[in-house]
Structure formats: C-alpha cells, structure tokens
Structure 1
Amino acid sequence: MRMMTVPGVGPIAALTFKAAVDDPRRFKRSRTVAAYFGLTPRRFQSGEHDNPGRISKAGDRDVRATLYAAANALLMRTMAGSQIKSWGVRLMRTKGRRRAVVAVARKLAVLLHRMWIDGTEFRQEHLGGKA
C-alpha cells in the first residue's frame, strides 16, 4: 500500500516491483536497483569515442515494462502535480517522450526502493536525487 502512494504506481506495479526485488537489503544503494532492471544507458566506449546508447535491457523484462507503464501513467494520465512529474515534463520537452518516460521509470525504481528501505510514504514535494 505504501508504494501505491506514488502517483502512477498501481497495485500491479507495486507487487511486480516488490516480488522482483524480494529483499531490499541486497542492494547497497537505491541507484543500483535501476541498473539491475536494465534502466540505465548502455555505453559504447573506445579510446576516441564515447557514444551513449539505448538502455541496457538487462534484468527482468516484465518489471522494466511495468515501471515504464507506471512512469508513462505518471506523465500522461496523472492530474496531481509533483516534482517528479514536472521534472519528467521538462525532460519530455528537451529529450522527447520516450527518453523522458525511461528516465522517470528509472527514478521510480530508485524512489520505490528507498521508500521500502526507509518505511516512508511518498511526499508530493519530495524528489529523490538531482532535479
């Protein structure tokens, strides 16, 4: 129920995330949860080139799809304003809709893990990490 206080996160997203993570203490930092589900950019690096690619798509595909759907619902359907939504809308204007939704999904994974560890509820004015 605590995870469903986040806008866009419903019962399916909360249960899928909770079942996939299983034990939140196995991740040292909340940021690594997003990488575990493949929501971090893939890098193509050599001595001369550094090209950021698409997301790595490692980890559980169903959890990644559920987080993407929750982020899309947060940005497109949720009427309640929050800092995470306004951050995503600003990203959408500069980077495009798909990249913004993936970035918000990554932030949702970090936020849900941190809420689970701390036992806190979502606050509309709070945005975890950099804004």
Structure 2
Amino acid sequence: MKRQIERELDRLELVMRQIKEVERERDAMLEAATDEAPEPASARLLQLRGIGPEFAGVLHAKAFFRSFGNRRQVACYAGLPPSPWQSGNMDCEQGVSKAGNKRLRTTMIQVAWLWLRHQPESELTRWYAERVQANGGRIKRVMIVALARKLLIALWQFSSTGVVPKSALLKAA
C-alpha cells in the first residue's frame, strides 16, 4: 500500500511539473507577443475584467494571430455564424454552423459565461439579459452561443483596433 501511494505521489509531482512547464511556455508566448508590437492583442485582452492569461493565450493562439477582413470572417472562423434555412414561405434558424475551430468555439462559450459574471454592466450583458427575460429564461444556453459570437467580434475589435466593448470594465492598474 505504501508503494502504491508513493507511485501516485510521483505521478502527481510529474503532472505538477508539466503544468508549470506549460504555464511558463504560455507566459513566454504572451511576452513574445508583447515584445513584437507596442500593444499586441494578447496584452490588450489581459486589460479586460474576466479575461485572464489562459483565455488570452487561447484567443491569441487560436484566433487573433491571423488577420480578418470583417466580423463575419471572425465568426465563421470560430464556427459561430447563424445558419438560416429558407424554403418557400418557411424561414427559420438552424443554429450555428459548427464548421470552424471547435476549441475556439468552446472557449468563447466559456468566456461568455464569465463575461456575464465579471462584466454585469456591459452592453453585451444587458443584451443577453433582455433576450433571456423576453423568452421567460428558457433559452439561456441558446443565447449564450449568440453572446459568444457577439463577444468574439467585440474582442477581435478590441484586440485589433483597441475599441473597448461598450460599457466594459478594464482591470485596475
């Protein structure tokens, strides 16, 4: 039993070392991005409340390292654009296309939930609350995907041009 516990402790120590190494690599990537430009995308993202180094690193590595021409390209890259369907008189939405980067899409949904908690006064949060309240609170999970799309576009604009999302709070310096 003692040997088994020692093996488990060894495994735990190995995992902890690996986590520290991955965090060092992430921090080095964010610092390298900081050195490349006067104020790069990842450094700007870290200024927003609710966005930490993990999310900034994923957003920088998965989306904002490339340039996009417009907001539709950003949403399509993440697989978050709406998929309308029309046939004759029928006109309905089929949800999001899911044709883009799956990790970016799931990360944006997580960021959207955190955005609601850490940015309660932002315009995006108010938009979400109004839509959910208008439908009796039944479609929270559906609307969080729509919020993720809007938030991704707002973060792209913030990281590329420096335009702060309306009523969003920045971290204290």
TM-score (normalised: structure 1): 0.78
1:47 aligns with 88
> Structure 1 5/43 Cα, relative in aligned 2: closer, same or farther at 3 Å?
same
In structure 2, C-alpha distance between the alignment counterparts of 1:33 and 1:91, rounded to whole Å: 23
Worse overlay, 106-115 or 13-22: 13-22
- Which one of 59, 63, 67 corresponds to residue 21 of structure 1? 63
Q: Is the 8 A contact 1:38 1:58 kept in 2?
A: yes
In structure 1, C-alpha distance between the alignment counterparts of 2:87 and 2:111, rounded to whole Å: 35
Structure 1, unaligned runs of 5 or more: 127-131
Bigger Rg, which one: 2
Offset, 1:80: 4.5
Q: Secondary structure at the match of 1:5?
A: coil
TM-score (normalised: structure 2): 0.61
1:67 aligns with 108
In structure 2, C-alpha distance between the alignment counterparts of 1:101 and 1:8, rounded to whole Å: 16
Larger relative CO (CA 8 A, sep 6+): 1 or 2? 1
In structure 2, C-alpha distance between the alignment counterparts of 1:100 and 1:87, rounded to whole Å: 10
1:103 pairs with 2:146: yes
**What is the RMSD computed on CA atoms of the aligned residues?**
2.2
Q: Is the 8 A contact 1:4 1:14 kept in 2?
A: yes
Structure 2, unaligned runs of 5 or more: 1-42, 169-173
In structure 2, C-alpha distance between the alignment counterparts of 1:94 and 1:7, rounded to whole Å: 27
Counterpart residue type for residue 104 of structure 1: L
